[in-house]
Amino acid sequence: MEILPGIHQIDARVGSRFTFQYVFVGDRILVADSGTKDLPGKTILPYVGELGRSPSDIWMVVVSHGDADHFGGNHAMRNGAPEITIACHRGDLPWVESRERALAERYNQLSAHGIAYPSEIRGFIDEMMGPDTHVDLVLVGGEILNLGDREIEIVHIPGHTPGHIAIHDRRNRAAFAGDGVQGRGYRDTEGNIVIPGMYNDPGAYLSAIRALEELDLEHLFLSHYLPMKGKEIAAFFKETRDFVGKTEDAAVSILKKHEKPQTLREIWAEADPILGSFGTNWVELPVAIKAHLDKLTRSGELEQGERDGLPCWRTA
């Protein structure tokens, strides 16, 4: 469905969770994210055909970041459109090119804390990724990509991942920002927040919001949210900032009331009902909490130690 001149949205939802793919169409075609491993063949390439275009018209796939549901279809895209250029930011390059590294470094990053996804979710993540695929163009942010009828700008918006980028269509005052801003978390199709927002660097995450604000957008497109317009964008940015602040406040208040240093799992257990009662299936929340603990340890507000073989924290 063409939602703005030259910007097409493909509804690729999985179950009750919104998932949208975006295609920027000009004289050449740019696909934002390849999705999961089967999505190009089932959805993206057929949609391009419905536009009366051929796979050879697809110039580039720009991967917004190194999560499995955003780069897992790279191999299938290359098979279906052999001449394409696959691009991603250098910050996420190791994950985008290697499913082994993505699983170890992105999806098992809390192993030292004794925290991991349940086996069924790990299997689901693994199944989203096709074979390892080479990235042709390494981005740093600031690149201008020419579609023939207009130019598209790459904007670096780290925080959710180190190499997250947005795709800015200045002519339409629109940007696709993947998972770069997440509010309080991901909602199902009924509006319930089911997965908390996740970021590895709260400072960078807040800076990413400022970078998007500076674009003066009228339209914001995200992978797992309905399109936003005008004042909805500002409200969503505020919701995101508020969640970041509330997460840090929760972690600090929990540590202040305990004399004994607390592990990440212990802090998570107390913070979860404060921040949304997400449960233990999704480890996005402890990733965000740990990002704040690391930040506050660097600033000297917290002290990190070890208890029973696990990292733990206390107020300084």
SS3 label, residue 51: coil
Instruction: Give the pLDDT score at 190.
Output: 87
What backbone phi and psi angles, to 5 degrees, belong to 38?
A: -100, -5
Query: What is the Cα–Cα distance from 177 to 165, expressed in whole angstroms?
Result: 7
Residue ending a domain, choose from 198, 217, 240: 240
What is the extent of the structural domain holding 52?
Answer: 2-240
Task: Answer yes or no: do 108 and 189 share one domain.
Answer: yes
Query: What is the Cα–Cα distance from 204 to 158, expressed in whole angstroms?
Result: 6
Per-residue pLDDT 10s for the chain (316 aa) are: 999 999 999 999 877 788 999 999 999 999 999 999 999 999 999 999 999 999 999 999 999 999 999 999 999 999 999 999 999 999 999 999 999 999 999 999 999 999 999 999 999 999 999 999 999 999 999 999 999 999 999 999 999 999 999 999 999 999 999 999 999 999 888 888 889 999 999 999 999 999 999 999 999 999 999 999 999 999 999 999 999 999 999 999 999 999 999 999 999 999 999 998 888 878 999 999 999 999 999 999 999 999 999 999 999 9
Residue ending a domain, choose from 240, 267, 292: 240
Task: Answer yes or no: do 143 and 259 share one domain.
Answer: no
Amino acid, single-letter form, for residue 141: G
Query: What is the Cα–Cα distance from 54 to 177, expressed in whole angstroms?
Result: 26
Instruction: Give the pLDDT score at 171.
Output: 98
Task: Answer yes or no: do 227 and 286 share one domain.
Answer: no
- Within 85-230, where are the H helices? 93-97, 99-101, 119-127, 202-213
CA dihedral 156, 224, 94, 118 (to 10 degrees): 140
Number of domains in the chain: 2
Task: Answer yes or no: do 176 and 276 share one domain.
Answer: no
Instruction: Give the pLDDT score at 16.
Output: 79
Provide the CATH number for the domain around residue 181. 3.60.15.10
Residue ending a domain, choose from 205, 223, 240: 240
What backbone phi and psi angles, to 5 degrees, belong to 310?
A: -120, 145
Task: Answer yes or no: do 201 and 127 share one domain.
Answer: yes
Kind and range of the H or E run holding 219: strand 219-221
- For residue 152, give both structure tokens: 């598209």
Question: pTM score, two decimals?
Answer: 0.96
